[in-house]
Amino acid sequence: MMLELIHKFLNLVAPPFTFFSLLFLWPPFEVYKFFISILGSVFAEDVAGKVVIITGASSGIGEHLAYEYAKRGARLVLAARRKVSLQEVANRAVELGSPDAIAIQADVSNLDDCRRIVDQTISRFGCLDHLVNNAGMATFSLFEDVEDVTSLRSVMDINFWGSVYMTHLAAPHLRRNNGRIVVISSSAGWLSSPRMSLYNASKAAMSQFFETLRIELGPDIKITLVTPGFIESELTQGKHLNKAGRQEVSTDMRDVQVNIIPVGKVDACAKAIVNSACRGERYLTEPAWFKVTRWWKEFFPEVVEYTNLLLYMSSPGSPPQEALGKKILDSTGCQKIIYPETIINDQGPKTN
């Protein structure tokens, strides 16, 4: 009886208390955060000589993060599955200013490979300062069309478990140096685009996992959680797992999924991420305007759902290319305006 009264009391009091708290506390708290951001800019971390692991570094955001850290003099450990492309990135990083950059061919969905990345890092450099969990894979398929749902396990294995493995192995070394974890999650964690259900779920899982680690790791290891919108990368070139669980590249499906949303430049995104990490920021959404999609999702979920339905979904039995957003792109040719030139003219992701 007493417990029921407590819940009735909280049901009555919690909403107005929260409303007035937001009304009176939110403005000064925003001023406080602005002040802290100014201090972070003035006293930004100098990563020259520091050791940084970047997963998924052979292309896209990971590749350009390597270049951005290299320009600031960081020593780099670059990991990805494609050996030749990865070595090219490492060589370029050294040209840009990294004192030492090593390439380790590895699959982060494999725990032994993750252990090898961390072990080789410590063996070579003796310490670790930043871990960038960037490796990822996307799917473009309606859930009911998937032929064998187990064939898509790699999405969760790479996106979520790869980050878990790397973090678990790296945490003791990061703690010794009061290091930082940079998590490349995605706005897909809240903005549920159709045909990407498992990808969206993996990114939401990443966000919640690392939000929990903020508390567990405390002040010893800081976390910067990055939630990009669409950025020029292999995903925005159309690389994905199809309904059969096979990897393919399709610019048609790229246009269906990216739709009429402007795509951000990868070099600007990488610079913003490293700046944010060095300033000690907790969160970053890039491009910055994409944060408004979270507000719309929170306050007007029905509107967001209807908009996604309208732009992304074709009528039953019709191919996905019949989606309204894709038709708008085809009829107006506005890809030339809202997509970077690289993802329109490029022949596709690196395959070596």
Provide the CATH number for the domain around residue 275: 3.40.50.720
Instruction: List the domain range (segments joined by +) for residue 134.
Output: 46-345
Closest by CA to 240, choosing from 174, 158, 318, is 158
The verdict on residue 26 lying in a domain is no
- Is residue 16, in this structure, part of any structural domain at all? no
Q: Quickly list H helices, the chain.
A: 2-42, 60-71, 83-96, 111-125, 153-156, 162-176, 197-217, 251-258, 266-278, 292-299, 301-312, 324-332, 335-338, 341-345
> Is residue 98, in this structure, part of any structural domain at all?
yes
> Within a domain: residue 115?
yes
**Is residue 33 in some structural domain?**
no
135 and 60 Cβ atoms separated by less than 8 Å: no
Q: Residue 11 falls within a domain, yes or no?
A: no
Give the mean model confidence (pLDDT) for residues 70-82.
97
Dump pLDDT digits (tens) for 304-344.
Answer: 999 999 999 988 888 999 999 999 999 999 988 999 988 87
| Digit-coded pLDDT (tens) for 176-187 | 999 999 999 999
Q: Can you give the pLDDT at residue 61?
A: 97
Is 3 within the bounds of a domain? Answer: no
SS3 72: coil
Q: Is residue 298 part of a domain?
A: yes
Residue pLDDT, tens place only, 207-240:
999 999 999 998 999 999 999 999 999 999 999 9
Spatial separation of the C-alpha atoms in residues 175 and 84, rounded to whole Å: 32
26 vs 93, more confident: 93
Would you state the pLDDT for residue 106?
Answer: 98
What is the pLDDT confidence band of residue 88, given thresholds at 50, 70 and 90? Answer: very high
Residue 317 is predicted with a pLDDT of 83
Per-residue pLDDT, 350: 60
Domain count within the chain? 1
Distance of CA 6 to CAs 1, 11, 271, Å? 9, 9, 50
**Of the candidates 114, 205, 220, which has an alpha carbon nearest to the alpha carbon of residue 166?**
114
pLDDT (tens digit per residue) in 147-168: 999 999 999 999 999 999 999 9
Report pLDDT digits (tens) over 102-140: 999 999 999 999 999 999 999 999 999 999 999 999 999
| Catalytic center residues | 199
pLDDT at 170 over 70: yes
The predicted pLDDT at position 171 comes to: 98
In percent, the amount of the chain with pLDDT more than 70 equals: 97
